[in-house]
Chains A and B, each alone.
Chain A
Amino acid sequence: MTDVIATNQTILVVGGGISGMTAALEAAECGKNVVLVEKNPALGGRVSQLYRYFPKLCHPTCGLEINLRRLKQNPRIRVLTMAEVTAITGGEGDYSATVKLAPRYVNENCTACGECSKAVDAEVLDAFNYNLGKTKAAYLPHKMAYPQRYVLDPSIIGTADADKAKAACKYGAIDLDMKEETVQFKAGAVIWATGWKPYDAAKIQPYGYGRFSNVITSVEFERLADIHGPTKGKILRPSDGKEAKNIAFIQCAGSRDENHLRHCSRICCMASLKQTNYVREAYGDAGKSTIYYIDIRAIDRFEDFYQKVLKDPTVSFIKSKVAKVTQDEKSGDVILHGVNTEGYHRYATPHDLVVLAVGMEPSVTGANLPAEIVSDSSGFIEADPANHAFFGAGCASNPLDVNRAVQSATASALRAIQVVNRVARVEG
């Protein structure tokens, strides 16, 4: 049985991405006790699946390393992975949280030696790589996974593979009898940092995502460029593994669109500008990127980055919301149809690969929120007194870039501290 020791001076942080980790760390480094709940088997969230950040082009795993080191040496944070909050009751300064823990089938004896993975035959889709590849059914979610412990995919439980994995483990780390557990604990304040999910691109029917293999999303493109990704960092198109040198980026794929997401997702322009650098990095002058956009939203000093990309002769910009995408079955090329609205020029342009700059949908959408929470028309949690000590942080509260998500998370940590400090003053 997992026990969680918490009081109503504890801060519950839901979501272990960069926002949740930040909120948890900032509060803990201020001397507060925190329970950090993450749905996936490892911390890091969506930024750990990015290859590089804009505008510095540095690697998100670098910051993850620092945050993990802060976390590893801080005894005030209790991390629960494969955990989902199913209910929150009570009120400000006196919440009670119910958390469901899915079985990992691997206990803390795991040394991450990898023998179980070698032993099993079955493969499952690799969620870390947005299902672009497969991984063994006994797997470490990714190279920097924390906790550094393997996971058995539930699909092999009860099969010979599970027994093989168990037999391969010399350390008694595999526990095939693990069951789903439910734990309950107290919390004074709740920080909801469940982040975002990429808008379901298949819903944007004219762009052919799901029908055409060479139409992919911007988050998938990150995995193609990453050394830890399914192509080991090579930009190859899915249909035939050919080097994708001529790449189209379609902006506002879902965003700024009343048929899909009403809001602007803020990050997508910068993400595509950044991704043109991946093309240049891979193919030099032989690469070609075309950005189809409505407005380039390179806000504040990000403008520098936009200006730099504007000067890159391999990158062109077309002010147009693409009307339709088709794929040539023989060549595998994808053809973009539309009108350049600057002066009215019609185009039907073939590309090797199309990257849809998909919008940010709050992960709150569709989740069974355990309390009556005020959110805006897009489903982002608003800062509202009616939410009491339940605070949105990061992309659960607004479509934000990493920098701003971390600011938001830091602010949310203070709001939570204000509550637990009040509780502490009352309780002495």
Chain B
Amino acid sequence: MADMKVAAYICQGCGLGDRLDTAALAGVAKKEGKAALVREHEFLCNAEGVKMIRDDIANEAVTHVMIGACSRRAKTEAFGFTDVAVSRANLREGVIWCQPETDEARETTQEMAEDYIRMGCAEVKKMTLPEGNPAAVTERSVLVVGGGVSGMTAALEASKAGYKVVLVEKFGALGGWAAKLHKRSPGKSPYAEPQDTPVADMDAAIAADTNIKVYLNAITSKTAGSPGQFEIEISTESGSTTTEKVGAIIQATGFSLYDANNLPELGYGKSANVVDQAGLEALAKAANGGVIKRPSDGGEVKTVVFVQCAGQRDDTGKHLPYCSGSCCSTSVKQAMYFKDANPDIDTVVIYTDLRMPGNGEDFYRSGQNKGVTFTKGKVSSVEAAGNQCKVNFHDLILNDQTAIDNADLVVLATGQVPNSGVDIDTKLKADIAAAAGDNSLLEAYNASQAEGAVQPISVLNLTYRQGPDVPQLKYGFTDSHFICFPYETRRTGIYSAGPVRRPMDMVQAMEDATGAAMKAIQAVENAGLGRAAHPRSGDLSFPKVRLEGCTQCKRCTVECPFGAIDEDEKRFPVFNESRCRRCGTCMGACPVRVISFENYSIDTVGSQLKAVDVPDEFSEKPRILILACENDAYPALDMAAMNRNVYSAYVRIIPVRCLGSVNTIWINDALSSGYDGVMMMGCKHGDDYQCHFVKGSELASYRMSKIGDTLKQMGLEEERVATFEVAITDIERVPQLINDYAAKIQEIGMSPLKGF
């Protein structure tokens, strides 16, 4: 690598030249920042300014560029140099726009700016240009686990884009749930009639597709590796085992119907004439368009009652609390089986809220038009009486406790339960607590694994340190928690699709599977280039570890939100770069600080906070370090400044990738070098967490809850370190938080550790 040559550029535009002494800033960059080349420019982001920098890179062998101008979030096209390391000193949003434009404030404003120049220079010197993942391998095929409509769709769509697919199905034929259906709800205009399922067509298309290799009666008995280089062991029922190499994985393992045996009050198990939706499909398939027969005696069905939300939307804690989103439409379709065969059959749907969004409204209308009767009501019980049933319910419109006395058939719309494998989070939480010295959760977990207890069967059998399956969000569904990013996954290169991720109907499942196929081929391409996946997509840096310093404490391996780090036989961490999302949680976790990224490390941040000029105890100028999440808190600070919301001139802000990447050494260093306080601003954690790296802010708050002892040892008040949850909209709250905190520090007094 060429010798490092740092150049610092200081912009005078946007009022920087008026509000700040830029010559003095240039002096700071030269003397303290040790920049070999320092230039001021009246308008750095215009073509001429940018050309000046480019020329210096080309002609002056500049390798490291520090730009003192606007926020790193602004003018990204102009300053997007990809061939040198770049740091930004935020003089505009970070200084002049958040400081009052008064003569009194001039001195502290200038001090702020000078510190940011020092910090920018210090940071850039510690950065190197990321070189990409040297271990990048590209296996461009995709594994699809589950051969239902979701899996078949994913396979066909990936193949259409030119990728090879390995499709593994547990049973002896493709089709899954859809293969059990007589017909499906309509997926196209005019949304009026049940349609044939796509199973036969898709089955034929897969058989004819040379890109797709199908394993039937098979499971994925072992999944090792990482995106671009997964190794899959496929075991078939016959006992044979094959290994396939794939680049990405789609889990489309679908759902099972909620067990209606849990609903004896609704007559299931007491009368053969009470069936679930699968039972009705079987009857309809047997009838094949003819008259559906009563199971108990083969008698003619004259009256059929559909009970919606059976064992769903349950607030007693006994059944499924959620809505399965597809059963209303299914019941309308099933009622049509009867009406289409014989319009004189009475079909009653008892519902509380009919949930058929979008063009489902047309299908609902079509059902009504065929004479299906819809009754808003709550079913309390179903009683069996001979070959008929009595359905007791409360008609909510007529406010009647009433009953349908002679139903020949009752169909319970039970919900979807995901086939998602092992819930790994209980174990993981126990491991995290154990790593912190609390073994109680782990003991409880081990007790639950006692012999004889029924355990869920793993789907993927991942060899990952954090467990054999993908993490579940809620109720066993493997969904993303992000509204904007439904394909966000905590296992890079592994995507869920269809009802295993969220209850859904066939139209949605096919759309979802197509999206998952998109993400899978993207994962393959990015892994090949050594690039990070979302949300730091394109990032070429990846964690480097000095194993010789590692104490095998396992914190990085258990805390990584993405399960990227395994352990070798000697319990040293094994980094799987293409699983890594570059959040830095491992770096924050490491007590011996052996983990770093090329462009983000203990040193890039540590050197910045040490570069700040901390005035002495008697200056009455405290210094407060703010470590702000770059995803939400930092933009909020920028926008507060755009609104000219003023905050204390004593703070120095360093953006971090995630609070999870904050290593306590930074806090120790800051406090021991005389800072009076440290504020950490991260995203909301808890159930509705907003951390883009899932666990980062939660882990940070967990770690910070333990910092009290350190503070005590240093003889400092515990208020000197504070953590805040900040949202991107907090443009008025954030300045207030800062000012309140500065006032509190003033109250506590200056740190006694200055000047040591």
Contact = CB atoms under 8 A, between A and B. Distances in A.
A–B contact (CB under 8 angstroms): yes
Interface residues of B, number: 89
A25 B225 CA distance: 27
Interface in A269-328: 295-304, 307, 319
A227 interface: yes
> Lowest 10 A-B CB distances belong to which pairs?
A63-B484, A410-B515, A411-B514, A414-B518, A266-B357, A343-B399, A295-B353, A72-B76, A113-B14, A300-B325
B285 to A, nearest CB: 27
Nearest to A148: B74
Nearest to A256: B361
B727 interface: yes
B537 A29 contact: yes
B515 A342 contact: no
B353 A403 contact: no
A170 interface: yes
A341 interface: yes
Contact of A304 (B322, B359, B399, B683): B322
A417 B518 contact: yes
Interface in B514-559: 514-515, 517-519, 521-522, 525-526, 534-535, 537-538
A406 B399 contact: no
Interface string A89-125: 0000000000000000000110111000000000000
Interface of A: 18, 25-26, 29-31, 51, 53, 56-67, 69-70, 72-74, 108-109, 111-113, 143-144, 148, 170-172, 226-228, 232, 256, 262-266, 295-304, 307, 319, 341-344, 376-378, 380, 382-384, 398-400, 402-404, 406-408, 410-411, 413-415, 417-418, 421-422, 425
Contact of A421 (B161, B474, B477, B487): B161
B429 interface: no
Contacts of B518: 26, 30, 410-411, 413-414, 417
Contacts of A422: 162
Given A111-B13, A143-B639, A226-B729, A407 B486 contact: yes
B233 interface: no
B482 interface: yes
Contact of B362 (A263, A295, A341, A383): A263
Contacts of B76: 72-73
A26 B522 contact: yes
B584 to A, nearest CB: 16
Nearest to B44: A111
Contacts of B534: 29, 70
B75 interface: yes
Contact of B537 (A70, A171, A380): A70
Interface in B311-364: 313, 315, 321-325, 353-362
Given A111-B70, A113-B15, A299-B355, A73 B80 contact: yes
Contacts of B502: 300-301
Contacts of B504: 300
A312 to B, nearest CB: 14
A61 B729 contact: yes
Contact of B162 (A148, A299, A377, A425): A425
A410 B485 CA distance: 10
A162 B299 CA distance: 84
A387 to B, nearest CB: 12
Residue from B76, B360, B518, B692 having most chain A Cβ neighbours under 10 A = B518
Contacts of A410: 486-487, 514-515, 518-519
B28 to A, nearest CB: 23
B160 A295 contact: no
B702 interface: no
B486 A262 contact: no
B353 A297 contact: yes
14 contacts: A59-B727, A62-B484, A64-B484, A70-B535, A73-B80, A108-B77, A111-B74, A143-B642, A171-B43, A376-B188, A403-B486, A407-B487, A410-B486, A417-B161
A56 B359 contact: no
B538 A66 contact: no
B13 A170 contact: yes
Given A266-B357, A406-B485, A421-B161, 11 more contacts: A30-B518, A63-B482, A109-B46, A228-B731, A307-B315, A343-B396, A343-B397, A377-B189, A411-B157, A413-B518, A425-B162
B620 interface: no
Contacts of B15: 113
B503 A31 contact: no
A303 to B, nearest CB: 4
A378 B503 contact: no
Interface of B: 13-15, 43, 45-46, 70, 73-77, 80, 157, 160-162, 188-191, 313, 315, 321-325, 353-362, 376, 396-399, 474-475, 477, 479, 481-487, 502-504, 508, 511-512, 514-515, 517-519, 521-522, 525-526, 534-535, 537-538, 631-632, 635, 639, 642-643, 683-684, 688, 690, 692, 727-729, 731-732
B692 A414 contact: no
Contacts of A112: 74
B101 to A, nearest CB: 13
B639 A144 contact: yes
A59 B728 CA distance: 7
Contacts of A170: 13, 43
Contacts of B357: 264-266, 297, 299, 399
Contacts of B45: 111
Contact of B631 (A60, A62, A398, A404): A62
B727 to A, nearest CB: 6
B727 A58 contact: yes
Contacts of A74: 537-538
Contact of A398 (B354, B358, B538): B358
A298 B324 CA distance: 10
Contact of A63 (B160, B361, B483): B483
A298 B323 contact: yes
A63 B515 CA distance: 18
A55 to B, nearest CB: 8
A62 B642 CA distance: 17
Contacts of A382: 188-189
B727 A414 contact: no
A262 B362 contact: yes
Nearest to B351: A295
A241 B179 CA distance: 59
A399 B355 CA distance: 14
Given A65-B635, A263-B359, A399-B357, A300 B511 contact: no
Given A113-B14, A399-B358, A414-B521, A144 B313 contact: no
Nearest to B539: A73
Contacts of A65: 631-632, 635, 728
B659 to A, nearest CB: 15
Given A170-B13, A303-B323, A30 B525 contact: yes
Contact of B483 (A56, A67, A301): A56
Nearest to A143: B639
Contacts of B362: 262-263, 377
